[in-house]
Structure 1
Amino acid sequence: MTLDLATLFFVTVFMLGLGGVLLLFAWLQNRSTTALAWWGAAFLFFAPATALFGLRDNLPEFWSIVVCNTIYSLAYGLLWTGARVFEGRRPVFLGMTAGSIVWLLASQFSFFMQSLPLRIVLASTIVLTYCLLFVWELWQGRKEGLMSRWPVMAMVGLHGLFFLVRIPSVTSLPFPIGANSPASPAALIMVFGPLFYAFALVFLLMALTKERAELYQRRAANIDSLTGVANRRGFTELALRVIARSNTDKAPLALLLFDLDNFKGINDRFGHRAGDRVLVVFAKTIQQTLRPLDLVGRLGGEEFVALLPGVTPDITMDIAERIRDSFAAAAREVDGHRVSATVSIGTASATQAGYDFDTLYAVADAALYRAKQKGRNRIEPGRPSLTMVSQALES
């Protein structure tokens, strides 16, 4: 059985174009992921460039060499730009078009046009450069935790490696891979390469953007939309992990409960918009006061919570006092209103109540209740009962 190269080229062109259309369609469904549009455009440029290469024996050199490789270079520039945009960086239009510009400038010299090895080396260098830049962009965002990132990087990296090997071997490999006498296997490789790209890379790029969208959705489900801190669900999930680690090391741990004083009165007097601003001010105050490793959450309404790993009871009271003072100063006037908001705080410590989340919460909640009963705008330390401690030890 023999493979017809013309048919394979047609299938490759069709699949590249189809890949571009699919990526653009995915972008239309989720306009926030603009990287899909850049990648879709890249594949739509790959398609005509591949068609021109396949028709090289029937076209003038201007189309099969100059235009073909100019479009190819632009397509790889678009592919790299998509990676930049995916990582939240701006497109660099000069960099995106640099490969095409270099090719057009080189094509003005007759010695370059007459030398197949030179043309292959320059084309390979342009592709290799864009592949390396693509991998570098995704590598910088590796801490995001997207598993699909690695096969995408591997595929583009291997593609670049092919062109890296091609450069020193240009005079020994058969055309179209190198500048030696044409050979059917080499032509098949040059056809199947883009065809494999059309199948695998398009699938992986769509999987990558889908995985990020799902990650953002999971994060959004655990974040309070008004204040930007964790909601009850998100805080509880993280707190359980931190408490478990602290229990393993028997490290000190503190939990603080906050309740904004007379918050209903603020809403009634100044409106819900002012009340929302007070909540945002408190969330910012507590985040600015605490360390990056401390957990902060909004339980609902005007109630907040914080978990402080590695903090002893004495230090807990000092931190709580700083939060109380800072918030009183920050919320004295909000949006032009003399709000004078304050906060009551209850604390609990693992050294007294144990490493059980429910017990820590109950102790801090009881302390918060006492702070409210004693006049508000104050801090009360936790006093775990024997029943609470025994229940924590049993669990």
Structure 2
Amino acid sequence: MQLHLQTVLLFAALTTAGVTVGIGLLAWRDRSAYLRDWAAALVAVCLGLALYGLREGLAAWLGVIVANLLLLSNQVFSWTGYARLFGVRRPWPWILAGYLAVAGVYVLLTYVWDSYTLRVLFFNALLCLLSAASALLLWDHRRRVGAAVLALPLGVHLLQVFLGLLRIGVTLHEGGVSQQSIYVSQGQIFVIMLNSLGVMAMAFGFMSLHAGRLLDVLETQAATDPLTGLLNRRGFDAALQREWRRHQRLGQGLALLMVDIDHFKQINDSQGHPIGDAALCHLAATLRQQLRPYDLIGRLGGEEFCVVLPGVSLELARQTAERLRRAPLGFVPEGEAAPVQMTVSIGVASGTPEDAGPEALLARADRALYQAKQQGRDRVVLSEPTA
């Protein structure tokens, strides 16, 4: 079966346009900058394919220079979209300088040395470099998105690197290529067709990454207390299980602090629930400020908080608890004149070989907190290891 280049290009442009509409609607609805970049990448490749397919009736500056710049823009905006998604800085001055340099080379290869072969080799060399840059960026952030989400976009960019090298090889093997022979060389047309299919697959890769990000957002929301921004009970239990497994595997210390605001019901009843909420947020901020960045903090419910201290002995956990208890917990709520004074009671427990699991450790810390309440509040009580 003979492949017709213009048919392949226009079919790819129209098919990609349909997917582009979907990405564009997502970008408009979600207002995510990375989606806008990906939509721009697909718009650029649609226009580039259309101009490339209709180039015989177009001026050289439009059918050659603009068309090739648009096709390369697909790779550029793909990369900037990934960079936005992962929070990587985008070197816009260098990108602009690169555009100007590439445009200058195309002007030379079109109007000074009119060489279709050199243009093909130059384009595919750039395609390989840009695709490799996107593949490398995706690979560097593979732990953030997961293998299943990453497989399609990473595979597409690796395929584009391979196809770019293949087209360079086919061009050199054929001893060069002319603008007329490109329409009859089945090898060239086949590689172009595979590249066009790769662009459509790239669009689905964009949607895969977006779906993965939405799933991450939902999982984060499901594990986060909306008032304080700390882990909620669900998120805390999962984090505690992970720390417990690490504690068992590495043999490092692990301590828990159960923290409870004293007489919290009186604050709510006498000053209102908004002040009570402000007290919870103030304690959460104090815990963040006083603890290490990798310590885990969760709000288990009501006025009860729990802190996981990895790699900490019972004595060091006691010192940490005393520092928290003595921290300035009084605050003046926004819009109020009178300060709110509060104290905390803290129960401390450290992991022992007798603990059957993190639940046992949590129960001991909770019992120590109960003892602190029974002994008059505003104090730290250590859990006695089980016999």
Q: TM-score, normalised by structure 1?
A: 0.84
> In the alignment, is the contact (CA less than 8 A) between 2:49 and 2:67 conserved in 1?
yes
Pair 1:139–1:376, CA change in 2 (3 A): same
**1:69 paired to 2:71:** no
Instruction: Give 1:188's match in structure 2, choosing from 187, 190, 197.
Output: 190
Distance 2:140 2:321 in 1: 38
1:114-153 superposed matches below 5 A: 114-147=114-147, 148-153=149-154
SS in 1 for 2:340: coil
Residue equivalent to 1:60? 59
Gaps of 5+ in 1: 391-395
Q: For 2:180 and 2:139, how far apart are their aligned partners in 1?
A: 31
**Per-residue deviation at 1:108?**
4.1
Q: Determine which of 152, 171, 175 is the counterpart of 2:177.
A: 175
Cα distance in structure 2, aligned partners of 1:57 and 1:64: 8
Structure 2 SS opposite 1:305: strand
> Which residue identity is paired with 1:195?
L
Would the alpha carbon gap of residues 21 and 332 (structure 1) be closer, same or farther in structure 2, given more than 3 Å must change? closer
CA drift at 1:95:
4.4
* Identity among equivalent pairs (%): 30
Tell me if 1:49 matches 2:48.
Answer: yes
For the structure 1 residues 91 and 350, does the alpha-carbon distance in structure 2 shift closer, same or farther, using more than 3 Å as the test? closer
1:210 aligns with: 211
Partner secondary structure for residue 331 of structure 1: coil
Aligned equivalents of 2:77 and 2:57: distance in 1?
28
Output aligned runs, 1:323-362, within 5 Å: 323-326=324-327, 329-335=328-334, 337-351=338-352, 354-362=355-363
Local SS of the residue matching 1:291: coil
Higher mean C-alpha deviation, range 216-225 or range 72-81: 72-81
Q: Which residue of 2 aligns with 1:154?
A: 155
C-alpha RMSD over aligned residues: 3.0
Give 1:143-292 correspondences, 5 Å limit: 143-147=143-147, 148-164=149-165, 166=167, 170-173=171-174, 175=177, 183-198=185-200, 200-247=201-248, 251-292=252-293
Look up the equivalent residue of 1:135 and give its one-letter code. Answer: A
Q: Which amino acid aligns with 1:131?
A: S
Deviation at 1:96, TM superposition (A): 4.5
Superposed displacement of residue 214, structure 1: 0.6
CA distance in 2, matches of 1:52, 1:352: 71
Q: Deviations over 1:217-253 (max 9, x none)?
A: 1121011122222111111122123224434555443
* CA deviations over 1:17-60 (Å, ceiling 9, x no partner): 122112112333433x3322221221122112112222233433
Q: TM-score, with normalisation over the residues of structure 2?
A: 0.86
Alpha-carbon shift at residue 180 of structure 1 (Å): 8.8
Cα distance in structure 2, aligned partners of 1:378 and 1:177: 84
Further displaced range: 125-134 or 208-217: 125-134
Name the stretch that deviates more: 311-320 or 242-251.
242-251
Please give the per-residue CA displacement for 1:292-350, whole angstroms capped at 9, x wherever unaligned: 44322101111001222333322221111011112xx1435454642122110112233
1:110-155 deviation per Cα after TM superposition (whole angstroms, max 9, x unaligned):
6645122332343234333432332343334233142222442232
The question of whether the paired residues in 2 share the 8 Å contact of 1:254 and 1:316 is answered with yes
CA distance in 2, matches of 1:60, 1:24: 30
User: What is the CA-CA distance between 1:270 and the residue it aligns to?
Assistant: 4.2
Specify whether residues 277 and 164 from structure 1 end up closer, same or farther in structure 2 by C-alpha distance, changes over 3 A only.
farther
Q: Distance in 2 between matches of 1:294 and 1:353?
A: 23
- Going from structure 1 to structure 2, the CA distance change for 1:223 and 1:168 (only over 3 Å counts) comes to same
The answer to whether the Cα contact below 8 Å between 2:255 and 2:350 also exists between their aligned partners in 1 is: yes
- Higher mean C-alpha displacement, 258-267 vs 135-144: 135-144
Q: Partner of 1:393 in structure 2? A: none
How many residue pairs match? The answer is 382
Cα distance in 2 between the residues matched to 1:252 and 1:180:
68
Long gaps (5+) in structure 2: none
Q: Secondary structure at the match of 2:352?
A: helix
1:38 counterpart residue number:
37
1:11 matched residue in structure 2: 11
8 Å CA contact retained: 2:258, 2:305 = yes
Partners of 1:106 and 1:24 lie apart in 2 by: 32
Q: Is the 8 A contact 1:77 1:97 kept in 2?
A: no
- Which stretch shifts more, 204-213 or 73-82? 73-82
